[in-house]
Amino acid sequence: MPLPPKTVHTPSATSLQRTWNAKLHRAVPKALAHLQRHEGFLGFVANVDAMKFMQGKDVQKLLGEIPFRRIQQRLKHAGQLTIETSEDFAAALFFCFQNGKALELPCYHPRLFEWFEKHFGIDEKRMGGQAGIISNQLAALGSEPVCYCPILSATQAALFDKNVRFPLLQKGQLQLVQAKKAAHKKDPTKTNWIFEFSKGDQLQWQGKTITCPRSNRLIILSKLVKVEPLFSLELEPFLPQLARHFDRAMIAGFHHLHRKKSKTLRYYLERLCRQLDALKKANPRLRIHVEYVMIHDEKLAREVYEHIGRPADSLGINEVEMKHVLGMFGFKKELRALQKEENAFPLYQGARSLALHFNFERVHVHTLGYFIMYLSKKHMLPDPRAYIDSLLLAAKASEVRATLGKPPTKKDLLDKKFEKIKVSKIGLEQLGWFAKKAGLQGKRKTQFLEEGIADFGDHYVFVVPTPITPKPKSTVGLGDTISSTAFLSQP
């Protein structure tokens, strides 16, 4: 008589919470050890962030200065605005506050930046730009990253960590010097404005109480002419030599590309691709990660990402950007699914579609309370659990940064006072939701809930619950911290 099949018990919510909390803290020393084995390159944008921490009453006062009709007209298109007037700014800020969403919008009017300083004042000046933020974060964790950006003023250079290196040509030879000492005296300083707001803040508008649902920010991007996110012509012959100094590269800042009369956009894109190909040819172990930044001109954006997607191996993106890029590249089915229900499974479907379209090995999606990662089996180690450790390191680094309001050090991440950090209920619920949508059952479902890894034949999917900071000191740089620590600490 055959034995009855064994009953597979689904772990309880309490059990899963204990399991993932323990995994979060155990992963950190292992992933940090992997991070120390890699050397990173960061390009191509660093700037100064002028920080203003807004309260509900500040937003309410601004709204009261502008006729309701002018703000209402702009709210429908807040995410696509170019900031040209105080009315544009007020509408974008209210949209972000009301929805708890982050936006990055361009502004080409210097007088509006002067108005910001006069009207609001600056609370703090910090390192900004993906390359600058990530360089300082990796340096804080004990690395000596290489950073390159086309302009480097003395003001900008002073914000770099002493362990960040910068490539310079000295007497015809390539040298890596302290970024702090690499300033070009005549270079201008690019300054962006960051308006931060906190979850739970309230304002009164049109007879209604508006409560901010999530801490976030509005970033107003300044524009500098003649700045392109790529290596200088003088450095090009030395790129094979430079490539020997790192095996992981993270690049961003392509929203600064624009069409010119004298030289076309394609000229710059093809030059950048040749530069990246030269790095990879000189160092076959090199992996290149693109950190997605929204470009509001869709025709321009498609051309940019079709080019730089070719030499890249990895993509970092959040849930808002995912919707934008799916629509831009015509993935209508995936976009509709994500718009219908924003959760782990349609985010995975979007990540898979982008990976197949661009031939990415890896797509990392970070959103509130959890991460999704698509990983091809072509270029990975046999044991996928090491990749979970890297994602958990990124989760803890982001949480500690949000708590401290500055880049965490290795000592911070290992500090016992942060062992009380717990993964979010949202993330744990997403594990169950993904398992259901993916049709995982029995032992396979239980294993997925406890490990966060699903094997889909030619690729793995990772779903990792992460902490949520109730009252972060700052949200700027959290996505960059997540993407960089996860990518640099993977095997």
Residue ranges per structural domain of the chain: 13-46+133-188+228-488, 55-119+190-221
Q: Could you tell me the pLDDT band of residue 260, with boundaries at 50, 70 and 90?
A: low
pLDDT of residue 125: 95
Q: Could you read off the pLDDT of 16-44 as tens digits, one per residue?
A: 999 999 999 999 999 999 999 999 999 99
Q: How far, in Å, CA of 477 to CA of 483, rounded?
A: 10
Q: Could you read off the pLDDT of 137-194 as tens digits, one per residue?
A: 999 999 999 999 999 999 999 999 999 999 999 999 999 999 999 999 899 999 999 9
CATH no. for 13-46+133-188+228-488: 3.40.1190.20
Report yes or no on whether pTM surpasses 0.75: yes
* Percent of the chain predicted with pLDDT > 90: 85
H helix intervals, 205-343: 239-242, 265-282, 298-308, 319-328, 332-340
- Scan for tokens 């889909």, then name that residue: 456
Q: Could you read off the pLDDT of 352-385 as tens digits, one per residue?
A: 999 999 999 999 999 999 999 999 998 777 789 9
| Third-level CATH fold of 55-119+190-221 | Adenosine kinase, small domain (3.30.1110)
- Scan for tokens 């992997």, then name that residue: 34
- Scan for tokens 């594990």, then name that residue: 431
Q: Could you read off the pLDDT of 450-482 as tens digits, one per residue?
A: 999 999 999 999 999 999 998 899 999 999 999
Q: How far is CA 321 from CA 83, 168, 316, 318, 332, in A?
A: 19, 34, 10, 5, 15
Number of Cα atoms under 13 Å in the Cβ half of residue 244? 6
Q: Which amino acid is at 387?
A: Y
Long-range contacts of 434-440 (CB under 8 A, 24+ apart): 434/343, 434/344, 434/345, 434/348, 434/461, 434/463, 437/344, 437/345, 438/345
